[in-house]
Structure 1
Amino acid sequence: METVLRAAGIYLVLLVVFRIAGRRALLQMTSFDLILLLIISEATQQALLGDDFSVTGAALTIITLIVLDIIFGFIKKRTRWADYMLDGSAVLLVEYGMPMEDKMKKTGITLDDIMVSARTSQGIDDLSMIKFAILEKNGHISVISRDTK
């Protein structure tokens, strides 16, 4: 039972921490982010398993985490409030070539982040050619170009 409680507790802690950290953390992974992810995974592993390194303990931990993920997925499908609280909503960052500074600051997205996404996804190198740039719930930036006609 202790293994299940440990897994559930760590799952909830990580859920809250990554929700607070925001989608900026999901947008790009720098070498610092990779190191941080490795450290978090090691700390999480120690917290999840404690002194129990048995196959049964590991299997029970994995099953608990997957069941929790399925439960939260089901709750998000049924309740808009839970979906918003857990995943947030899409945020409009650029509208008709005009950056929305307040929303960019709130989400931690820079104009450089938007332009990188515009160049790689649409081949756009000028802000005025962006009709909309949207920070999606999954942390990616969608760019919609203006009609060139």
Structure 2
Amino acid sequence: MLVVFIRTLVLYIIVIIAMRIMGKRQIGELQPFELAVAIMISELASVPMQNTGIPLVNGIIPILTMLAAQIFISFVALKSTKAREIICGRPSILISAGKINEQVFRNELYTLNDLLEQLRSKDIYDIADVEYAILETNGQLSVVPKAAKRNVTPEDLNLSVKYEAPAIDLIIDGQLITKNLKRTNLDKETLEMELNKIGINRIGDVFFASVDSDGKLFCQAKEKK
């Protein structure tokens, strides 16, 4: 039992490291060759987990080999546009200037029902509202609505808007994020004073706190047990 536990733990750590090295993409964003590598790595790891008669190294070496191959292919695709087209393919234009390209649908084995489903997921319920629809190499659909159907922006209304940066997390579950605090105009003493103003005596009592680009503090205390 202990041997199985240790083997499983070792393989789990190796798979996690391998997937981490492969990058931060979500499953839906993986290229076909990346998805194939991810599936094969999981299969290679499962065999030594289930069969203790197989030496652990026989499971580790194939995983490392697949990882090395994936890194090599990714590097080649990064350096060569032609290789990237061969490995990953090219985006396919399903709708161009409002016209549906039937031949592209046949080439990609893609149906109108598939298109309509993905359009609905983007809150577009009428195909007539689409100017361009592009099927990306990872299977995601990029859509450019017709000008009259796009959301109104401040630029359309000739309005000037102020710059907004993402809010900076300062406290998460009672833990002060010192490196983030240094990016703001606050110091620990000033932060504690601001917390005291809203009735929070300790940083450890804060569930979440952040500061926006205007210096406005958002804070929520932990629920009392």
1:47-62 correspondence runs (5 A): 53-62=54-63
Question: Runs of 5+ in structure 1 lacking a partner?
Answer: 1-25, 28-36
1:102 is matched with which residue?
A: 103
Deviation at 1:113, TM superposition (A): 1.0
1:73-92 correspondence runs (5 A): 73-92=74-93
1:12 is matched with which residue?
A: none
Question: Runs of 5+ in structure 2 lacking a partner?
Answer: 1-27, 30-35, 150-225
Give the structure-1-normalised TM-score: 0.63
Q: Secondary structure at the match of 2:134?
A: strand
1:130 is matched with which residue?
A: 130
1:140 is matched with which residue?
A: 140
Q: Which has the higher contact order (CA 8 A, sep 6+)?
A: 1
Deviation at 1:97, TM superposition (A): 2.8
Deviation at 1:119, TM superposition (A): 0.8
User: How far apart in 2 are the matches of 1:137 and 1:109?
Assistant: 13
Greater gyration radius: 2
Percentage of matched positions with identical amino acids? 23
Contact kept in structure 2, 1:89 and 1:137, CA below 8 Å: yes
User: How far apart in 2 are the matches of 1:59 and 1:65?
Assistant: 10
Deviation track 1:36-95 (CA, whole Å, cap 9, x = no partner) reads x9xx86xx65xx98x982211111111000000000000111111211111001110012
Aligned-residue RMSD, C-alpha? 2.8
Deviation at 1:130, TM superposition (A): 0.6
**What amino acid is aligned across from residue 130 of structure 2 in structure 1?**
I
User: How far apart in 2 are the matches of 1:96 and 1:125?
Assistant: 18
Q: Write 1 or 2 for the structure with the bigger share of helix.
A: 1
**What amino acid is aligned across from residue 117 of structure 1 in structure 2?**
Q
Figure out how many residues of one structure are paired with residues of the other and give that number. Answer: 108
**What amino acid is aligned across from residue 143 of structure 1 in structure 2?**
V
Q: Secondary structure at the match of 2:110?
A: coil
Moved over 3 A (4+): none
User: How far apart in 1 are the matches of 2:96 and 2:116?
Assistant: 14
Give the structure-2-normalised TM-score: 0.43
User: How far apart in 2 are the matches of 1:142 and 1:133?
Assistant: 6
User: How far apart in 1 are the matches of 2:96 and 2:59?
Assistant: 48
Contact kept in structure 2, 1:96 and 1:128, CA below 8 Å: no
**What amino acid is aligned across from residue 93 of structure 2 in structure 1?**
L
